[in-house]
Structure formats: structure tokens, C-alpha cells
A and B are shown apart, each in its own frame.
Chain A
Amino acid sequence: QSALTQPPSASGSPGQSVTISCTGTSSDVGGYNYVSWYQQHPGKAPKLMIYEVSKRPSGVPDRFSGSKSGNTASLTVSGLQAEDEADYYCSSYAGSNNLNVFGTGTKVTVL
């Protein structure tokens, strides 16, 4: 399984929005509604931010939203705050006979 493709970096000023793409294939992103997004601050464990394409776990601000179109999923962070500066990874289910696959990761910088 190849890694899902994400842009290496994204940035925005406080209060602005940033959108991160995650491109896979019909065998993973396009084939299932099990796309998840993880936030990772330096030296910390990843944290689930979005699951099943667009659902937010309890405690995750509604500034974080997810969507999918075809083989590409997206994470949008609205109203950027300083604490949103982190690495973000997408992941997708890839069928019962495969491990899931992670994206290449995107570093979000709050200017």
C-alpha cells in the first residue's frame, strides 16, 4: 500500500482557514467512508480529530471539519488559532485484507 498524498505544508494567519488535501485511490479513500485525521504536536502522540470522513470526537472544536470527494479527502481548520500549529496526518481504511494507510503528513503553520 502506498502512502496517501498530502501537501508538505500549509499556513494561515490567526482567524483564517486552511484546508489540507489527502489523495488516495479507489481502493482506499475513494472506496470507504473510513477516513480519519490526526493532529500531532512536536514530541506528542497523535490525536484523533476527525473520523468517518467528517465526524468529530467529543472535545474536538467545531473549527475542524472533514469532507471527501472521490479519491480525495480534506480537512479544514477554520478560525486558525496558535495551538492549531502541528502536523496533520490522514488515514484511510483499505479493505479487510490490508492494513490501513497513512498520509505523508502536512505541517500547518500559524503565521
Chain B
Amino acid sequence: QVQLVESGGGLVKPGGSLRLSCAASGFTFSDYYMSWIRQAPGKGLEWVSYISSSGSTIYYADSVKGRFTISRDNAKNSLYLQMNSLRAEDTAVYYCARAVGGLQLDYWGQGTLVTVSS
């Protein structure tokens, strides 16, 4: 069965960095686009970034462009999100999700909480 397990969240000071990981299993990881989506406490869902199956196509939300970097290692069935210059408004649960046609998200991980606070 498809499983996505995020890790790497935690408490970080403003201006700090964090790297999130998402371990995928139960499907051919290299065949699928993957996405990061976040949800601030009590708020709605927000697209952060997506990456094509080969890693050649990447898009970011304007809110994270220049600060976050998405990447993947198809040999390790893993997705990553490097987050630099973190701000209080980046505080959220970060989900990784598998994307199918039209970037619809058919499987989600359980999420990892990132808290940016001094």
C-alpha cells in the first residue's frame, strides 16, 4: 500500500533552516510528480511546491520562492524540502503528497510540524 512518511519538523528560530524529508513506499516513486503542501494552525491548505518525476520541472509558491528548495532522490524513494530564512509565517504542518493528472493529490503523508519562533 502507498505510504508517505514525513520527518524533520521541529522548532527553529526566525532566520534558521530546516530540511524536511518524505519517505515513499508502496509505489514506483520515480513515476510520479510529488508535492509539498502546508497548513498553518487553524488555517487552510496552501501549495508550497511540486517537482516532476525526473526532477526537471519545479514550481514554488511566491511565498517561499528563493527560500525553499524542493528535491528528490528517486534511488532512495525520497522527497525533500530545504527551508532557509524561515519566518514566523512559515509555521505550519507540512504534508508531502503524491500528484497524479492535473496535480491532483491522491495520497498524503501524516504531516510534520514546523514551528518558527524565538
Contact = CB atoms under 8 A, between A and B. Distances in A.
Interface residues of A, number: 26
A52 to B, nearest CB: 7
A32 B101 CA distance: 11
A48 B37 CA distance: 14
Interface in B13-59: 44-47, 49-50, 59
Interface residues of B, number: 22
Contacts of A46: 45, 95, 105, 108
B110 interface: yes
Given A45-B95, A45-B109, A51-B106, A34 B44 contact: no
Interface in B79-105: 95, 100-105
Contacts of B103: 34, 93, 99-100
A47 B59 CA distance: 23
A99 B97 CA distance: 14
The 5 A-B pairs of least Cβ separation, nearest first, read A34-B102, A93-B102, A36-B104, A45-B108, A105-B44
Interface of B: 44-47, 49-50, 59-61, 95, 100-111
19 contacts: A3-B44, A33-B102, A34-B102, A34-B103, A36-B102, A36-B104, A45-B95, A46-B45, A46-B105, A46-B108, A48-B104, A48-B107, A51-B104, A89-B44, A93-B103, A98-B59, A99-B47, A100-B47, A103-B44
